[in-house]
A and B are shown apart, each in its own frame.
Chain A
Amino acid sequence: MPWSQRFGLNGRGLVVLLPYLWLLLFFLVPFVIVLKISFADVELAIPPYTSLLQWDAKNELSIKLNFSNYAFLFTNELYFKALLNSLKVALISTLICLLIGYPMAYGIARAKPATRNIMLLLVILPFWTSLLLRVYAWIGLLKANGVINNVLMALGLIHEPLAMLYTPFAMYVGIVYSYLPFLILPLYANLEKMDWQLLEAAEDLGCRPWQAFYKVTLPLSRNGILAGSMLVFIPAVGEFVIPALLGGPNALMIGRILWDEFFSNRAWPVASAVAILLLLLLVPFMMWYQSIQARESAGAK
């Protein structure tokens, strides 16, 4: 290991020190503060500054007050429903993304190199275009006098506009649309490495194409499926923009509740408690994602 020997511990330390300290201060410490504030009293938190000062001053008192925010969350049906609904929406959206994204990733991986590069570019391009603007595009498509209703009415298929915008349907469309590239790219990276001769071998041995797919391709692309699904599922659970713009007032999503608690109700401790619960829920999935990534890069070497 020439690097470790010649660089010495000091040089190495310096290289990693800056990003390490940065992430410690701006990524890890903030969670500790969120945790602290989630145990603070709601009353004290209406103006942000006094909340922390007063809370600091009566450190002992706060320990007695502390679980009230969590008790509030657990006794109030709204939060539980929102959490369940967020999980449901994220799970269904992930499955739809897989249904649309898997054949696409597969098709791109099996295309000729020149076409493949163009298709990859076409998948990456929306990913670089603002999420907000792409979600906005769906308002124009789905609203009462929007493009889809206008086309359907012009064709005579419907006589009055369908109510699509501000429904759960619009929210699913928005989430699937926005997160699809996140699923296709890792899946493609995985499928691209596959040895296609295995498929031919399976067919030579008498497998029908669907059987060969089910028995060979699908198990081999397991890590790609899982990695892509995590990239859709985890952020979708906490999604705010899409439910706020497409879901209408009844779209109960936990990310939106957190936002409203914070910005509309100015209930910082409650928002912090929601954040902690959401985080606890998602950490196992994040760890799962990391172990898949570690397995993938170990496989690549």
Chain B
Amino acid sequence: MNQRRSVFLISCVAFGFAFLYIPILSMVVFSFNASKLVTVWDTANSPTLKWYHSLLNNEEILDAAWISLKVAVINASGSVILGTLAGFGLSRFTNFRGRFMLNAMATAPLVMPEVITGLSLLLLFVALEQLIGWPAGRGITTMTLSHMTFSMAYVTVVVQSRLATFDTALEEAAMDLGARPLKVFFVITLPIIFPAILSGWLLAFTLSWDDLVISSFTSGPGSSTLPMVVFSKVRLGVSPEVNVLATLTIGVVTLIIVGVSFWMARSNRTSRAT
């Protein structure tokens, strides 16, 4: 009986993973296809790296990638600061005025449809510009501010859940020994939650790097991000260069994710051993 159940379970899991990975693998395979039709394999000339070459010479894509990179790095660094403060406040200060409000505002962006967030932020920027003249026009600044608003919600959740599982006795002991709260935070709390902060940074970077909808609302002329360029290409159908871009993205993401999880597994083991 048990055997039959596990066969059923294994086939469900296998089906699920096939569903998740066949589309991804198909992009990787067809990125080496010589044919411009993308999904019709050109046996005579494939595999080839010619689309890799053409992607790396595509000025439009490279410019957009550079803008995306700038926005993503500033966004990730800013939202890690905001998210860590919010996560710390929410998990360590159990009752203060506005806690409910902060909690609601910090988690709502996780499920808020992007079109609503994008529209509302754009209207805010337009109103602010009329009121105080800042931000002047829309572009990298407005996109970064918008990305930070939804990214910090993810960082808050990651930091908060890490803080929930760690023993406050360590912080209390440091304070009993005379450390000031600020010192306790930097010497005890920060090193312990550092893996969570790192994941938060990577998550915030990725969210910003991938964002299409909120960027489209809040960007200005000459500040198209990579997803915006890809979207306008893809709307017209498949494109061999997009397959190459997808393959490179998947490669980098896999390397980073696998690297970070190994590093975290190792640091977990060492911290448990000491």
| Interface residues in chain A, defined as those with a beta carbon under 8 Å from any beta carbon in chain B | 1-4, 6-7, 11-13, 15-16, 18-20, 22-31, 33-34, 37, 48-49, 52-53, 100-101, 103-104, 106-108, 110, 117, 119, 121-126, 128-134, 136-141, 143, 145-147, 150, 177, 180-181, 209, 230-231, 234-235, 237-241, 244-245, 255, 258-259, 262-263, 268, 271-272, 275, 278-279, 282, 285-286, 289-290, 293, 297, 300-301
Query: Given A52-B130, A130-B210, A132-B231, is A275 in contact with B115 using a C-beta cutoff of 8 Å?
Result: yes
Tell me, rounded to whole Å, the shortest Cβ–Cβ distance linking A35 to chain B: 9
Interface assignment of B221: CB less than 8 Å from any CB of chain A: no
Rank and list the top 10 A-B pairs by shortest CB-CB distance, nearest first.
A238-B113, A30-B120, A103-B12, A137-B23, A19-B86, A16-B89, A107-B13, A23-B105, A30-B124, A104-B16
Per the bound structure, the CA–CA distance linking A63 and B127 in Å amounts to: 19
Per the bound structure, the CA–CA distance linking A76 and B141 in Å amounts to: 38
Q: Are B24 and A126 in contact (CB under 8 A)?
A: yes
Within 8 A of A (CB), among B17-45: 17, 19-24, 26-27, 30, 37-40
- Point out the residue from A33, A122, A129, A143 that lies within 8 Å of B120, measured CB to CB: A33
Interface assignment of B164: CB less than 8 Å from any CB of chain A: yes
Chain A, residue nearest B237 (CB): A139
Residues of A within 8 A of B127 (CB): 33, 52
Tell me, rounded to whole Å, the shortest Cβ–Cβ distance linking A253 to chain B: 10
Q: Are A3 and B12 in contact (CB under 8 A)?
A: no
- Point out the residue from B89, B105, B238, B249 that lies within 8 Å of A130, measured CB to CB: B249
Q: Are B181 and A134 in contact (CB under 8 A)?
A: no
Q: Are A2 and B102 in contact (CB under 8 A)?
A: no
Tell me, rounded to whole Å, the shortest Cβ–Cβ distance linking B235 to chain A: 7
Per the bound structure, the CA–CA distance linking A125 and B259 in Å amounts to: 12
- Point out the residue from A1, A22, A235, A262 that lies within 8 Å of B82, measured CB to CB: A22
Chain A, residue nearest B5 (CB): A209
Per the bound structure, the CA–CA distance linking A179 and B37 in Å amounts to: 29
Q: Are B210 and A140 in contact (CB under 8 A)?
A: no
- Per-residue CB contact flags for chain B residues 68-106 toward chain A (1 = under 8 Å, else 0) read 000000000000011101101100111010100111111
Interface assignment of B187: CB less than 8 Å from any CB of chain A: no
Residues of A within 8 A of B81 (CB): 18
- Per-residue CB contact flags for chain B residues 130-168 toward chain A (1 = under 8 Å, else 0) read 100000000000000110110010001000000010001
Query: Given A132-B231, A241-B212, A268-B123, is A110 in contact with B113 using a C-beta cutoff of 8 Å?
Result: no
- Point out the residue from B15, B103, B114, B234 that lies within 8 Å of A136, measured CB to CB: B234
Residues of B within 8 A of A119 (CB): 13, 17
Tell me, rounded to whole Å, the shortest Cβ–Cβ distance linking A107 to chain B: 4
Per the bound structure, the CA–CA distance linking A86 and B26 in Å amounts to: 29
Taking A11-B182, A259-B213, A282-B111 as given, write out 20 further A-B residue pairs in contact, using a Cβ cutoff of 8 Å, ordered by the A residue number.
A2-B175, A13-B96, A15-B88, A15-B93, A18-B82, A19-B85, A52-B130, A128-B206, A130-B249, A132-B212, A136-B27, A137-B26, A140-B27, A143-B39, A150-B40, A180-B19, A209-B2, A238-B114, A245-B235, A301-B164
Per the bound structure, the CA–CA distance linking A282 and B16 in Å amounts to: 29
Q: Are B27 and A137 in contact (CB under 8 A)?
A: yes
Residues of B within 8 A of A293 (CB): 107
Q: Are A235 and B20 in contact (CB under 8 A)?
A: no
Interface assignment of B196: CB less than 8 Å from any CB of chain A: no
Interface SS, B side:
helix
Interface assignment of B188: CB less than 8 Å from any CB of chain A: no
Q: Are B93 and A27 in contact (CB under 8 A)?
A: no
Tell me, rounded to whole Å, the shortest Cβ–Cβ distance linking A126 to chain B: 5
Per the bound structure, the CA–CA distance linking A258 and B258 in Å amounts to: 39
Chain B, residue nearest A289 (CB): B111
Chain A, residue nearest B1 (CB): A209
Residues of B within 8 A of A12 (CB): 89, 93, 96
Per the bound structure, the CA–CA distance linking A238 and B119 in Å amounts to: 12
Per the bound structure, the CA–CA distance linking A3 and B88 in Å amounts to: 12
Query: Given A106-B9, A121-B261, A133-B242, is A22 in contact with B149 using a C-beta cutoff of 8 Å?
Result: yes
Tell me, rounded to whole Å, the shortest Cβ–Cβ distance linking A281 to chain B: 10
- Point out the residue from B26, B89, B105, B209 that lies within 8 Å of A15, measured CB to CB: B89
Query: Which of B81, B89, B106 has the most CB atoms of chain A within a 10 A radius of its CB?
Result: B89
Interface assignment of B253: CB less than 8 Å from any CB of chain A: yes
Residues of A within 8 A of B64 (CB): none
Per the bound structure, the CA–CA distance linking A261 and B92 in Å amounts to: 44
Interface assignment of B195: CB less than 8 Å from any CB of chain A: no
Within 8 A of A (CB), among B40-63: 40
